[in-house]
Chains A and B, each alone.
Chain A
Amino acid sequence: MKEIRLMKGNEAIAEAAIRCGVDGYFGYPITPQSEVMETLMALQPWKTTGMVVLQAESETASINMLYGGAACGKKVMTSSSSPGISLMQEGMTYLAGAELPCVVANVVRGGPGLGTIQPAQSDYFQSVKGGGHGDYHLIVLAPASVQEMADFVELAFDLAFKYRNPALILSDGMIGQMMEKVEMKPYKPRWTNDEIEQMHPWATTGKPENRKYNIVTSLELDSARFEVFNEKLQRKYQQIRDNEVRYETFECDDAEYLLVAYGSSARICQKSIQLLREQGIKAGLLRPITLFPFPTKEINALASRVKGILSVEMSAGQLVEDVRLAVNGKVKVEHYGRCGGMIHSPEEVVEAVKQKIIGG
């Protein structure tokens, strides 16, 4: 029989990590994501699966521990919230530059600065445009439920290893702190060293007789060669764009007005659509599940069929820029969102649709 449990989003990330065979978690506490490491410490997976759980001395240390673990072909992850994720950005660009797979979960709180401990979605630019330096992208997944918090851990690792690229789970204090029903997947064993050597021939697993030594680095002092490497990275990102776009639509078939929102805001917008339809206004929602790659084509196609689009995000307006690029001037695109840790209500979104899109 399926076991249904009631869990917080943060707890779901932790347990899913153990179950999908993660080798190591390295983190540093920060509200509103501290339950991730607290749950791991309570479950003590080092006694069962052999997974290492370590509280590092800082976020900077955590991300560099990921670099070390990932270089050895291990499944390693960390989690934090906005200010902590900012501290990790140097490590993130090094991981991207060294083409190392790993998973980072950001349970976003309001910024800028130390900010607030309440939920926000104002780390969108940092996540999808690259918070560190250089031409790189993370694969970014945006869960909108506690079930997805659990499921996306494994999905993030699958994509990270498929493309040798860091993957980010971008949630927020609402999804992290709320409880919903979750069905956990069965336990998978951690990879053995032989499996790692077979599956990840690039990993620094020691130098056997039959191949050259592996080097993991993000440094290349020969600019001509580094340009070739950058072009290769860009081809990889294009492959990700071509193959990995994930999204969900809700009541879009007859929609005259479109909402675009991810994560918590997508949940709030579903209620708004119900309220709008009760008032005879045909609204629908497109929820990007992957933020990089972004569902550009899908939004562009919907833009041909609707009268206006509202991008809803708990921020001052970041997602809206990618929606506008996707729509490319076909219809009006506006932003609505509370910020600084405030959560917009379904009714406020309804008003914004009426004022900014229908009436505006």
Chain B
Amino acid sequence: MNEEIIIAGFGGQGVLSMGKILAYSGVMQGMEVSWLPSYGPEMRGGTANVTVILSDNRISSPALKKYDTAIILNQQSMDKFEAAVKPGGLLLYDGNGITRHPERKDIRIYRVDATQEATEMQNQKAFNMIVLGAYLKLKPIVTMENVMNGLKKSLPERHHHLLPQNEKAIARGTEIVKEIQKI
């Protein structure tokens, strides 16, 4: 197993922490992992993205140009990363604020309306966990038990009371993800 993922959106959407939780879930599952953020001026309100690799083997390059999966959370990231999905790969996106929907015909496309769902759940912070749930439904590369253990590891202990809410959000994500395009 070797899964190369780009998660891209706005700074503040929880892009980096979602990647960290996914990476920690891989650690819990005994996989090799890498987490490489874009950092710097982008983080102040602009786009933020992180490359996460989970693999059964030693990871070579943590920096990539082509991905098995792109998780896209705003229009700028759609413009930048739609073309970076490998043929046959997966594009998962949140429809909120998307004005130009993906056009590739050679990739699987799924949509999760996580912004809307988080609003309905009255928990904006659940946004990235809803997206994570949707991703794990499509690519169950780590078990839910290891995701929860990963979440525990990446959240400071003072936030551990939030674990049930996060679990609920992940579960919700698995339910609401919609298929847009098969190949």
List A residues at the B interface (Cβ < 8 Å). 4-6, 31-32, 117-118, 173-174, 177-181, 264, 267-272, 274, 343, 345-348
B125 within 8 A of A: no
Complex alpha-carbon distance, A174 and B61, angstroms: 11
User: Closest CB of chain A to B160's CB: distance in Å?
Assistant: 17
Structural contact, A346 and B61, CB atoms closer than 8 A? yes
In the complex the two chains form, what is the Cα distance from A6 to B23 in whole Å?
A: 8
Check: B73 CB closer than 8 A to any chain A CB: no
Known contacts A347-B65, A347-B66, A274 near B40 by CB under 8 Å:
no
| A residues in contact with B33, CB < 8 Å | 6, 179-181
Knowing A117-B40, A180-B33 touch, does A271 contact B60 (C-beta < 8 A)?
A: yes
A6–B27 contact, CB under 8 A? yes
Question: Contacts A4-B27, A32-B40, A181-B33 given; 19 further ones with Cβ under 8 A?
Answer: A5-B27, A6-B20, A32-B39, A117-B39, A178-B36, A179-B34, A180-B35, A180-B62, A181-B27, A267-B59, A267-B61, A268-B60, A269-B61, A270-B61, A271-B61, A345-B63, A346-B60, A346-B65, A348-B65
Which of chain B's residues have a CB closer than 8 A to the CB of A4? 27
Q: What mask results when residues 7 to 42 of chain B are scored 1 for a CB within 8 Å of chain A, else 0? A: 000000000000010011001000011111101110
Residue among A177, A179, A343, A348 with most chain B CB within 10 A: A179
Question: Which chain B residue shows the least CB distance to A270?
Answer: B60
B153 contacts the other chain (Cβ, under 8 Å)? Answer: yes
Q: Among the listed B32, B62, B65, which residue makes an inter-chain contact with A174, where contact means beta carbons less than 8 Å apart?
A: B62
Query: Once bound together, how far apart are the Cα atoms of A118 and B38, in whole Å?
Result: 9
CB-based contact B64/A174 at 8 Å: no
Nearest-CB distance from A83 to chain B (Å)? 15
- Residues on B facing A (Cβ under 8 Å): 20, 23-24, 27, 32-37, 39-41, 59-66, 153-154
6 CB < 8 A contacts A-B: A6-B20, A6-B33, A6-B35, A178-B36, A345-B65, A346-B65
User: What's the minimum C-beta distance from B182 to chain A, rounded to whole angstroms?
Assistant: 27
Contact between chains at A174 and B63 (CB < 8 Å): yes
- Give every chain B residue within 8 A of A32 (Cβ-Cβ): 39-40
Residues of A within 8 A of B34 (CB): 178-180
Q: Nearest chain B CB to A72's CB is how many angstroms away?
A: 37
Chain A residues, CB < 8 A from B27: 4-6, 181
B23, B39, B63: which contacts A343 (Cβ < 8 A)? B63
The verdict on A268 contacting B61 (CB below 8 Å), with A118-B40, A179-B20 known, is yes
- Cα A187 to Cα B97 with chains together (Å): 50
CA distance A31 to B41 in the complex (A): 11
- B-chain residues with CB within 8 Å of residue A264 when the two chains form the complex: 63
Q: Which residues of A contact B36 (CB under 8 A)?
A: 174, 177-179
Residues of B within 8 Å of A5, CB to CB, are 27
What are the residues of chain A within 8 A of B20 when measuring CB–CB? 6, 179
Q: Check A6 against B63 for contact (C-beta < 8 Å).
A: no
Task: Find out whether the CB atom of B39 lies under 8 angstroms from the CB atom of A268.
Answer: no
- Min C-beta distance of A53 to chain B, whole Å: 21
| Bound complex: CA A269 to CA B35 (Å) | 18
Taking A6-B35, A6-B153, A117-B40 as contacts, is the C-beta distance between A267 and B24 under 8 angstroms?
Answer: no
Considering the complex, give the chain A residue whose CB is closest to the CB of B58: A270
- Cβ B62 vs Cβ A267 within 8 A: yes
Closest residue of B by beta carbon distance from A31: B40
Docked Cα-Cα span, A292 to B154, in Å, equals: 38
Distance (whole angstroms) from the CB of A308 to the closest CB of chain B: 21
One of A117, A180, A181, A268 near B63 (C-beta < 8 A): A268
Residue in A6, A32, A347 with the greatest tally of chain B CB atoms within 10 Å: A6
A133 to B135, CA, bound (A): 55
Give the complex CA separation of A271 and B58 in angstroms: 11
Residues of B within 8 A of A347 (CB): 65-66
> Which residues of chain A come closer than 8 Å to B41, judged between CB atoms?
117
CA–CA, A326 to B154, complex, Å?
46
A357 to chain B, nearest CB (A): 19
Question: How far, in whole Å, are A304 and B61 apart by their CA atoms in the complex?
Answer: 28
* A117: B residues at CB distance < 8 A: 39-41
> Are A177 and B61 in contact (CB-based, < 8 A)?
no
- Which A-B residue pairs are the 4 nearest by beta carbons? A270-B60, A345-B65, A271-B61, A179-B35
Cα A336 to Cα B61 with chains together (Å):
16
Q: Which residues on B sit within 8 Å (CB–CB) of A6?
A: 20, 23-24, 27, 33, 35, 153-154
Chain B residues whose CB sits within 8 angstroms of the CB of A173 once the complex forms: 39
Which residues from chain B contact A179 at a C-beta distance below 8 Å?
20, 23, 33-36
Instruction: Give the distance in Å from the alpha carbon of A268 to the alpha carbon of B40 in the complex.
Output: 21
Cα-based distance from A272 to B64 in the complex (angstroms)? 11
Distance between B54 CB and nearest chain A CB, rounded to angstroms: 11
- State A117–B44 Cα separation when bound (angstroms): 14
Shortest CB distance B73–A (Å) = 20
Chain B residues within 8 Å of A272, by CB: 61
Residues of A within 8 A of B32 (CB): 181
Q: Which of A177, A178, A267, A343 contacts B60 (CB 8 A)?
A: A267
